[in-house]
Structure 1
Amino acid sequence: MTGPGGTDPQDGVGRQLEAKILELLAARASTSTICPSDAARAVGGDEWRHLMEPARKAARRLVDAGKVHITQGGSVVDPVTAKGPIRIRKAP
């Protein structure tokens, strides 16, 4: 079964991105945010750009699981309707 946007949430890269997002957030203050590119770079190394959309999808799955929020301009937004740059922060 595929997840939102056609990505299988059980694929290796998707799991790696989800884990990396949570790891990066755990290393920061509870109010801090990360960019999906932080996780994409950590997982993909020099070849990270193709992981941007998978990183955004991984963040959406983590929102669905209640683990993170997606923000724009400091406000929590619906990940389905968010357009443009997003940030990810731990859910309280």
Structure 2
Amino acid sequence: MDPREATLALLAARSEDATVCPSEVARAVAGEAGAWREAMPDVHAAVDALVDEGAVQLSWKGRPLAMRAGPYRIARASK
């Protein structure tokens, strides 16, 4: 699964106000191989694209983030 699909699938499987950690996405991408850290650059790129498209929004400790910087959580975009 590619990072974009994994991000959207993880969000779809949770309640509307839930968030996912980028490392969860990377683990889904890496699968049983377990090399999730190597997947992180691709996850970050996919998340950046999803933010640019308005498909997701980012936050950290409940505060919205305009762009990815440091630790972050991924949520569905507000409607």
Partner of 1:69, secondary structure, is strand
Q: 1:77 is matched with which residue: 53, 58, 65?
A: 65
Q: TM-score scaled by structure 1? A: 0.76
Partner of 1:61, secondary structure, is helix
Gaps of 5+ in 1: 1-12
Please state if 1:35 is matched with 2:36.
Answer: no
Gaps of 5+ in 2: none
Structural RMSD (CA): 1.4
1:17 equivalent in structure 2: 3
Please state if 1:58 is matched with 2:40.
Answer: no
Shift >6 Å, 4+ stretches: none
What count of residue pairs does the alignment treat as equivalent?
Answer: 76
Q: TM-score scaled by structure 2? A: 0.87
Q: Which amino acid aligns with 1:42?
A: A
Query: Percent same amino acid at aligned positions?
Result: 41
TM-superposed deviation, 1:79: 1.4
TM-superposed deviation, 1:53: 2.2
Partner of 2:57, secondary structure, is strand
